[in-house]
Amino acid sequence: MGDSSQQLFGTDGVRGRANIDITVELATSLARAATDKTSNDPVLIGRDTRRSGPMIASALHAGFNSVGVDTVDLGIIPVGGVSRLVRMVGARCGVMVSASHNPAPDNGIKFFGRDGAKLGDAEERGIERRYFSDIPTVAVAGAGVGFQTVMADSVDRYVDYIKDGISYSLRGLEFVLDTAHGAAFLAAPRLFRAVGAAIEVIADEPTGMNINAGCGATHPEALARIVKGRVGFSFDGDADRLIAVDEEGGVVDGDVILAIFAKHLQDRGKLKNDTVVTTVMANLGFKKAMAEMGINVIETDVGDRAVLDAMRTSKAVLGGEQSGHVILEDRATGDGLRTALRLAEVMAATGKQLVELRTVMRAYPQVLTNVTVESKTGWDRNAAVAQAIATAKDALGSDGRILVRASGTEPLIRVMVEAGQEATANEIAASVADVVAQELA
């Protein structure tokens, strides 16, 4: 199948254009490569609403079945549901077919271990080695062939689990839910109705090709226009992210949500070791707010897996990313629905509106510019780009910062600048992005 030095997995599973990069053949072979012989337990497979989802999921089922592994079809379900149900039923692993916040023509495959967390680097490299090896697959026949079943109540089981974890009534609270025409379109409304909240739902009519299109966590402005005194919750395609919108239409990103949770837990003596885990993308305002509260901040590379690893090492009960991935005390994976319900619960517990809770931190103006490049390889060794970054750091001094990195899932170089003034951040980000474009585009 190719050179064993090749890589399939990026920072968030295997992702690319459906039926071009993520083919039926790839999915079938990947399922076979992901199979170990140490368990008779089934594999659970869920998906989002993309048109290509059933095709890729069917190939995964076939791959697992062809090497004697039973599979369970969860249907359309948030990624948090796959993670939770793996633990609930004792599955050998879970698979989510989704490209998360990417546009509809893309798709992807994420694996989750028995603990409900994404596989680590070593486990993914093991799958890659088996995928690219020339070792023939052992054929099974007769009763040895894996069998497919359907978990018809998968969404209900997942919703019931989240609902049962709430300690405060949400009756009287009003929310607008933006489900991004994605995996949350059934589960999110069902969850919030189950806890007695009043809701309006938008972007809940998936066509297979409209997921994330002008809606969801990557486009919170769609929600901000209509909240009108209510709180908005915006999910992405697989619903592992949450971006909220306050009663005045202000966007509440993952940094602010983490800050709200950290203060709430600390006030109740439940923030273990007074520690929160975040990434290098976290806003300077978040770090300053945590310092003022005496909360230790552990910084990691970008990606919720890196956050999870640091949470496990430090035994932290809270971590996340500015993009809206929040990992709670079970240390499993980002779950936008659970995050939304927990945020609503903080409102109920404190009697405060979100617009008041968000004042726990003041965000520095932050500009993120994405530059499409021909190749990301070697970008960090480009002399002109390095000089542009150094010049920017000198200009920002101690009242700002610049972070340049390659996207883990797209052909992009991301330039992020924070400064005391938005105009300064815009100017410096544009100057560095121009150099990146000239050198690498």
How does pLDDT run across 321-355, given as a tens digit for each residue?
999 999 999 888 999 999 999 999 999 999 999 99
The mean predicted confidence, pLDDT, of the chain is: 94
Q: Clarify whether residues 68 and 187 are in a common domain.
A: no
Cα distance between residue 203 and residue 214, in whole Å: 9
240-248 average pLDDT score: 97
Q: What would the DSSP string read from start to end of 87-139?
A: HHHT-SEEEEE--TTS-TTEEEEEEE-TTSSBP-HHHHHHHHHHHHS-PPPPP
**pLDDT tens-digit readout, 363-402:** 999 899 999 998 898 899 999 999 999 999 999 987 899 9
314-323 average pLDDT score: 96
Order of strands, edge to edge, in the sheet holding 296-300?
Answer: 296-300, 275-279, 319-320, 326-327
pLDDT at 4 over 70: no
Q: Clarify whether residues 35 and 139 are in a common domain.
A: yes
Q: What would the DSSP string read from start to end of 178-209?
A: E-TTTTTTTHHHHHHHHTT-EEEEES----SS
Dig out the tokens for 94 from the structure: 């879970």
Q: Give 186's Cβ-side CA count (13 Å radius).
A: 18
Q: Clarify whether residues 306 and 412 are in a common domain.
A: no
Q: Which of 201, 185, 186, 192 is nearest to 163 (CA)?
A: 192
Instruction: Specify if 299 maps to a domain.
Output: yes
- Residue 100 appears among annotated catalytic residues: yes
- Which pLDDT does position 3 carry in this prediction? 41
What type of residue sits at position 231? V
**String of b and e for 309-319 (b: at least 16 CB within 10 Å)?**
bbbeebebbbb
- Which pLDDT does position 399 carry in this prediction? 82
pLDDT at 249 over 50: yes
Q: Do the Cβ atoms of 257 and 244 come closer than 8 Å?
A: yes
| Residues paired with residue 73 on neighbouring β-strands, in sequence order | 45, 150
Domain boundary among 115, 130, 152: 152
Q: What's the number of domains the chain is made of?
A: 4
6 confidence band (pLDDT: 50, 70, 90): low
Instruction: Specify if 311 maps to a domain.
Output: yes
Percent of the chain at pLDDT > 70 equals 98
Domain that holds residue 435: 366-440
Give the active site residue among 100, 154, 234, 323: 100
Angle between helices 383-396 and 422-440 (to 10 degrees): 170
Percent of the chain at pLDDT > 90 equals 86
Instruction: Specify if 65 maps to a domain.
Output: yes
Q: Clarify whether residues 142 and 178 are in a common domain.
A: no
2 confidence band (pLDDT: 50, 70, 90): very low
Cα distance between residue 157 and residue 318, in whole Å: 24
pLDDT at 1 over 60: no
- Which pLDDT does position 112 carry in this prediction? 96
Q: Which of 211, 99, 177 is nearest to 336 (CA)?
A: 177
Domain boundary among 152, 171, 193: 152
Instruction: Specify if 125 maps to a domain.
Output: yes
46-56 average pLDDT score: 98
Dig out the tokens for 205 from the structure: 């009519």
Q: Clarify whether residues 93 and 20 are in a common domain.
A: yes
pLDDT at 278 over 70: yes
pLDDT at 38 over 80: no
Name the residue with tokens 């972007």. 203
Name the region of 73 (left: φ>0; alpha: ψ -120 to 50; beta: rest). Answer: beta
Q: Clarify whether residues 70 and 131 are in a common domain.
A: yes
Q: Clarify whether residues 231 and 274 are in a common domain.
A: no
- Which pLDDT does position 303 carry in this prediction? 85
Q: Clarify whether residues 118 and 214 are in a common domain.
A: no
Please state the pTM of the whole predicted model.
0.88
Instruction: Give the CATH number for residue 325.
Output: 3.40.120.10
Domain boundary among 251, 286, 305: 251
Q: Which of 96, 105, 60 is nearest to 78 (CA)?
A: 96
